[in-house]
Amino acid sequence: MFCSVKRQTVEERRQEILETTCRVVIERGFAGTRVSDVAQRLGISTSLVHYHFDSKESLLAEAFAHYARTALQELEEYVFEVPGPNEQLARAIEDFVPEGSDDLEWMLWIDAWGEALRNPSMRRISQELDERGVALIESIVERGNATADFDCPDPRRAAMRLMGLIDGLAVQFAAHTGVLARVDLLEAVTSMATWEVRPARPLLTS
């Protein structure tokens, strides 16, 4: 009697390669990750990796996209679990701000920005994901305007300024030790958000 072994589909193998690449990148960084590292971790040949991704640059870019899109989808679901725009904006701010200097997700983002300077595929994906983050904040602010919880004349520009502040301070916080405490980072971003959206009641972050 023969046992049937389920063969992976092309898409399943591709997803496995992307997820493994993410784990390797978190450990080694984009610059330190080789296709052979990913292949070795999976126990497959480098030629099989190249069958799915024509270059190291495309593999790294797609792996980052896979990781970041999943994280953003989870954030969007988490943010809109609460009903009010006040609470939604507070949740978004808290999630965007790094947990600490060892926040792996933020270290991956910072590394991706550096890689985007050299890798056109990464640059395209990084821009797409940054714009998605801005769009999330913008949509929350627009909801707040519609319900009179906020009074923001330009939600798009307000969202861009808020994300710019978060990104800049987060790099200092995540990449360096002792420069900025998380509570101070949250206070700075919340103060800026309050100035931008003019909430009817205070924004409360933990």
pLDDT value at 177 more than 80: no
Say which residues have a Cβ less than 8 Å from residue 184's Cβ, sequence separation at least 6: none
Q: Which of 187, 180, 184, 181 is nearest to 204 (CA)?
A: 187
Q: Which of 103, 85, 125 is nearest to 177 (CA)?
A: 103
- Reading the block at residue 61, the tokens are 């870019």
Write down all domains in the chain, each with its CATH number in brackets. 10-197 (1.10.357.10)
pLDDT value at 5 more than 60: no
- The residue behind tokens 């988490």 is 78
Q: Give the tens place of pLDDT for each residue, 162-172.
A: 999 999 998 88
At residue 58's C-alpha, the angle toward residues 96 and 115, to 5°, is 50
- The residue behind tokens 């710019």 is 164
Report the 10 Å Cβ neighbour count for 176: 10
Average pLDDT over residues 70-99: 92
pLDDT of residue 4: 43
pLDDT of residue 204: 75
Contact 143, 164 (CB under 8 A): no
In the predicted model, what is the mean pLDDT of the chain? 89
Average pLDDT over residues 150-164: 97
Q: What percent of the chain has pLDDT over 70?
A: 94
Of 147 and 31, more confident? 147
Helix boundaries (H) for 46-154:
46-52, 56-79, 85-96, 104-116, 120-146
